[in-house]
Structure 1
């Protein structure tokens, strides 16, 4: 469904509707419905569709809103003047802190309504995860010598680290087995053994 061209007034109204959607999602998580969001905004559902096209459009708009802030924080964590181990912990803590501070928003974006079947398998978070993986890959390539295939290996590691932290963060958020600080240490310990070995022995990527 196409939407009318954006204007300053329309942009402002769209932002107000996203604020209403945000409030409902923070209360209800993946169960948030277009009906509930329209009621929160004091409008009818067709007006909501007019602004976002369909529920997938609303998913993407909310994902864009939250992912922009998360990406900024990830970049800041990667750029912080810390040693390698502290930087690893800082990045993991930044991500876990983001999902812990807005758990229902995270669930809404990471585990969307199955009825929204036109979304990619990774859901609305997919572009954000690709961007995080790219940021990690660039940081690894710049800071650790991985030998002749450094860029390719850094890209593979960036993808692997992102997937690991996503899956383990999902488990941690749902089960809360221990405080965030301990989860950060646990994941950093797992990553640091391999990263430290590469940092201490440049080019040794095959276990030599």
Structure 2
């Protein structure tokens, strides 16, 4: 490329990019899943073509939003489950953190999980990758702390638990005015910690019996 050439790809100004994503967040939080690119551009004080120029296209903006918020959610979940204490305490705080996060960012969650994922394959892939990452980490915890040598079963459990919590969370968002968050958390914890040891074929796993020692 010569010195006088102009790049046609997305611009790489981190500060400006962050400001545009924050503008998108504000619009989505106000307008929900139906938030338009025109409204986001107006909130940022720019035109739609300039908005697209920063992200390549609409898909680029969706992916940037998905990565930004998936990372925050994963970090929050990792923090809770890495704390010391019994597995019940950590499981409870992790599920509670997840439900609190999606309810506090309801419009954004529905935008990314339903609207953007439905119309953009790359965004769907980004959100699916986030879910798989959490599932994989849970499986590794089951193996490391529960001493379950059957890696296949651990990964089946990890994905099943994460899928169950996600689906229960979606249901709860539609009934949050009727069902306390604590009831959903307690129900999921009881099901997870009661069901997995039984599924182990009668073996008593340390994961479900002993408090985690501080490392």
Query: What CA distance in whole angstroms lies between the structure 2 residues aligned with 1:182 and 1:57?
Result: 38
How many residues align? The count is: 196
In structure 1, distance between residues paired with 2:44 and 2:201: 53
Residues 94-142 of structure 1: per-residue CA shift (max 9 Å, x gap) = 111110111111001111247724346x464222111111121111111
Check whether the contact 1:78–1:139 (CA below 8 A) recurs between aligned residues.
Answer: no
SS in 1 for 2:174: helix
TM-score normalised per structure 2: 0.83
Ranges in structure 1 where 5+ consecutive residues have no aligned partner? 204-208
Partner of 1:181: 182
Pick one of 22, 25, 30 that aligns with 1:27: 30
Q: Which runs of 4+ in 1 moved over 6 A?
A: none
TM-score normalized by the length of structure 1: 0.86
Residue 43 of structure 1: SS of its match in structure 2?
A: coil
Match of 2:89 among 86, 91, 102: 86
* Corresponding position of 2:157: 157
Q: Supply the distance in 1 between the matched residues of 2:170 and 2:117 (Cα, whole angstroms).
A: 18
RMSD (CA atoms): 2.1
Structure-1 separation of matches of 2:187 and 2:181: 10
Gapped regions of structure 2 (runs ≥ 5): 1-7, 206-215
Instruction: Report what 2:130 is aligned to.
Output: 128
Measure the CA separation in 1 of the matches of 2:116 and 2:186.
Answer: 33
> How far apart are the structure 1 equivalents of 2:137 and 2:67?
17
2:170 alignment counterpart? 170
